[in-house]
């Protein structure tokens, strides 16, 4: 497998994995390589530096790589700074606030899919977040 940094005609940068260099060329000729952001099939390999193994340094998987990841990270920071993490108690807490059993406050947490669906069916305003919580309840 080989990874290429790719760039579309609109300047969007993304990466793709291919079986081989010829595999990339064949897929590109067939119009099967497209931009992960806008869908353009006018895609070229971007200039890449070879990756040299450094035993002490691994890849930076924490920093946002593109504007979408930056926006999601900004949203995560806002949610974490302005709400309380309630872990797997999210569904019960949201329902208790909706029913007036506990004071309303901004919360975020985790819920099983069926519990989240039930909240929505019952008219309790909740929304999924596009990230996983950094904090995890044990």
The rounded average pLDDT for each run of 10 residues, N- to C-terminus, in the chain (138 residues) is 88 87 88 88 79 63 80 91 93 96 94 94 93 67
φ, ψ dihedrals at 63, nearest 5°: -85, 140
Residue 55: predicted pLDDT: 63
Q: How many degrees, rounded to 5, is the angle at CA 66 between CA 60 and CA 9?
A: 130
Separation between Cα atoms, residue 22 and residue 121, nearest integer Å: 51
Nearest to 83 by CA among 26, 50, 129: 129
Residue 74: predicted pLDDT: 92
The verdict on pTM exceeding 0.85 is no
Residue 138: predicted pLDDT: 45
Extract the tokens encoding 27. Answer: 């897929």
CA torsion through residues 115, 117, 122, 125, sign: positive
Extract the tokens encoding 7. Answer: 């760039």
Residue 37: predicted pLDDT: 86
């Amino acid at each position: 497998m080989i990874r290429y940094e790719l760039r579309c005609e609109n300047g969007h940068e993304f990466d793709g994995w291919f079986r081989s260099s010829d595999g990339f060329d064949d897929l590109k000729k067939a119009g099967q390589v497209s931009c992960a952001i806008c869908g353009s099939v006018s895609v070229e390999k971007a200039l890449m530096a070879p990756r040299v193994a450094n035993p002490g340094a691994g890849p930076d998987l924490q920093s946002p790589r593109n504007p979408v990841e930056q926006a999601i990270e900004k949203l995560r920071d806002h949610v974490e700074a302005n709400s309380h993490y309630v872990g797997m108690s999210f569904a019960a807490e949201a329902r208790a606030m909706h029913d007036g059993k506990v004071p309303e406050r901004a919360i975020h947490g985790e819920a099983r899919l069926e519990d989240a669906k039930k909240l929505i069916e019952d008219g309790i305003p909740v929304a999924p977040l596009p990230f996983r919580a950094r904090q995890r309840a044990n």
